[in-house]
Amino acid sequence: MKVLSFIFVLPLVVAAVEPGGKPYMNEIRIERHKAIPMRDGVTIYGDVYRPAAEGRYPTIITRTPYGVQRDGMHEAHMKFAQRGYSVVLIDNRGRYESGGNWDPFRSEAQDGYDAIEWAAKQNFSNGKVATQGGSYLGHVQWAAASQQPPSLVAMFPALASTNIYANWLTHGGAFRLSFNFGWGVVRMPNRIMLPQYFHTEAFVPEELKYENILMHLPLNTGDLKSAGSEVKHYRDWLAHSSYDAYWKAISDEERMDKMQVPAEVSGGWFDIFLAGTINGYTMMKQKAATERARKNTRMIIGPWGHGPSQKYGDVDFGAIAMVDQFEEELRFFDHNLKGLPNGLDKNLPVKIFYMGVNKWRTEADWPLPNTNYRELYLGGSSAANSVRGGGSLSFTKADAASIDAYRYDPMNPVATLGGNNCCGTPTLAGPKDQRPIEKRNDVLVYTSEFLKDPLTIAGPVKMKLTAATDGPDTDWMVKLVDVYPNGFAMPVAEGILRARFRNGLDKPELLTPNTVYNFTIDMVGTANTFLPGHRIRIDITSSNFPQFDRNPNTGEALGSATKTRVASQTIHHGGPRPSHIVLPVVSNP
């Protein structure tokens, strides 16, 4: 159905003034359904928000698969237009008004380039273009920038993945089941869902309840349970279970040395894409193609999930935690597109929120200069099974070797409780109290003595685990926890490793049963002050369901297993096999 183009002129009065006393523009116009040709003949469509006064303005592009009339998008883009920008809000290929086929991630690089260069040539643009948006809207910015569009000046990818396999689809090779299924099948299938597959919450058949669908095996037919037919991109993801050529072709991290313009990345300590936020900053600083990009890239991380907030999970971090994302973006764009002397270039490039003391601090880089990486060792006077056990932590390595053991049954997995998840999946996210799962015998719990002095960490966190299992594959799930004097157990960092990927995400290799291996589990990073009277805790187990799929312990390919087996797990510590976590200790804020 053809949609006609419309122009609206909106008198929007604002009282604020720009630096120097110049009033913001108080009238804008919206031009609907602008055709944007792609190089392969497909036409995509977008809306243009611009000042009503004729002229050429710096231009911001946002590309979205969620619809240009999505709540919140309209209001933000009106505000940019009020402040002297032309803004183009575009439906991604195959979504809503745009033509072509929806195949997530695959066309975003070239489509982004074409959209940027089209916008730069329009009569509303002065030829300087920036990109904006979060989550999928952030990933598409990285993809477009890697193609080096000549008119691109800056980008603000918030809450965004930089490697779709490594920090979207999986973490440590473990499949992010609840998110990938909820987003890829339930929310974003490659066609319109049939009416019989919609149900009100009160009348969902038992077999279609989300938690039961996610228990379905094999995973590669789970789409039939929810969408009623095959969802091709979801099945493609499962078929490419390692970081192979399919994923490398769309990885922004493979092309960081092509990036020519500065970025400001924004993320949350509990966001599902925290690794993308951090990697985006660090890799731009190290590898970007121009000195301008390397020097002017910035990062801000708050105590948030998938967007700024004051309270998240079980914790209220105070009013200071909340950040106005629009104002953060506006300052960045004003400096980079308009050249306004707003002091951005005078500020340190990294701004992070320290949990525990609930303070913001600016830093010279990430990881922080002069970080002292300290090893905190597992130990214990008795078995560490559950919080009732005798697992301990110490900065002193134990001389005597010891082991802890537990059984992991995929049919009775440890439930997801908080952590880095998002976006309407049925699992809880953020800093949730871990005590309910720490009661289980298949969770090993190691706790330090009460701290006498504050201990602040800020930077990457890694677990060095020496362990064995009696099968060809399994998972190792680790959480770093801040235990309050009242017992509240707040997770501050987490990581998981599918054991077959111990040598690299592109080098899967099954285990020899009952052989001891050294595993490194990437726990991404955090900033937290453990206060006096608190204790440091590490929880180790083999599942976190449904945030991650259950490893069946059989060694079969992802998505194909129909049966599971119970695994016997052994963790070694002390003596010649000193399992430990590496903490990035910094000065107290």
- Give me the active site residues, please: 135, 271, 306
Which of 185, 98, 171, 177 minimizes the C-alpha distance to 140?
98
Which of 462, 495, 464 minimizes the C-alpha distance to 167?
495
Question: How many C-alpha atoms does 536 have within 13 Å on its Cβ side?
Answer: 25
For 536, phi and psi rounded to 5 degrees?
A: -100, 135
For 131, phi and psi rounded to 5 degrees?
A: -120, 155
Question: How many C-alpha atoms does 528 have within 13 Å on its Cβ side?
Answer: 25
Q: What DSSP designation does 499 have?
A: G
Amino acid at 311: K
Question: Kind of pairing, strands 170-171 and 174-175?
Answer: antiparallel
Which of 276, 274, 338 minimizes the C-alpha distance to 306?
274
Tokens of 413: 């997995």
Residue 536 and residue 376 in contact, taking contact as beta carbons nearer than 8 Å: yes
Q: What is the dihedral of CA 239, 496, 146, 527, to 10 degrees?
A: 160
Q: How far apart are CA 182 and CA 192, in angstroms?
A: 15
Q: What DSSP designation does 83 have?
A: T
Tokens of 37: 């040709």
For 221, phi and psi rounded to 5 degrees?
A: -120, 10
For the chain, the maximum distance between any two Cα atoms, rounded to a whole number of angstroms, is 78
**3-class DSSP assignment, residue 140:** helix
Q: What is 379-439 written as a DSSP string?
A: EESS--BSTTS-EEEESS--SS-EEEEEEE-TTSPPBP-SBS--TT-SS--BS---HHHHT
Q: What is 7-39 written as a DSSP string?
A: EEEEE-----B-TTSPBPP-EEEEEEEEEEE-T
Which of 484, 500, 478 minimizes the C-alpha distance to 571?
478
Residue 145 and residue 283 in contact, taking contact as beta carbons nearer than 8 Å: no
Rg of the chain over Cα atoms, rounded to whole angstroms, equals 25
Helix (H) or strand (E) holding 372: strand 372-380
Q: How far apart are CA 541 and CA 443, in angstroms?
A: 5
**3-class DSSP assignment, residue 59:** strand
Helix (H) or strand (E) holding 144: helix 136-145
Tokens of 322: 């909340």
Tokens of 435: 């005590």
Residue 265 and residue 158 in contact, taking contact as beta carbons nearer than 8 Å: yes
Angle between helices 274-287 and 136-145 (to 10 degrees): 20
Angle between helices 325-333 and 73-82 (to 10 degrees): 40
